[in-house]
Amino acid sequence: MTPYSCLASGQDVGLIEAVRNSDTIMKIQEKSGAKASLQLGSKALHSWIKNQNIER
């Protein structure tokens, strides 16, 4: 997993890198059965991050 870049260019102003083919946190949570934002939990997100970073 590669973090996206962020560059401050002034007070409250900056640039962020757009990441193609990415999943939102809500989309990751939905894959584990969450139906609404109030159901978000760290367990599903932690599991997804772990599965994306398996040593090959």
- Residues facing 25 on adjacent strands: none
What are the structure tokens assigned to 45, written together? 């997100």
Buried b (16+ CB within 10 A) or exposed e, 19-56: eeeeeeeeebbbeeebeeeeeeeeebeeebeeeeeeee
pTM value is 0.40
Where are the chain's structural domains?
Answer: 22-56
DSSP 8-state code for residue 28: H
Beta bridge partners of 13: 10
User: Which structure tokens are listed for 1?
Assistant: 């997993």
For 1-56, what is each residue's pLDDT tens digit? 566 678 899 998 998 888 788 777 778 777 777 666 656 667 777 887 888 888 75
Residue 9 confidence (pLDDT): 92
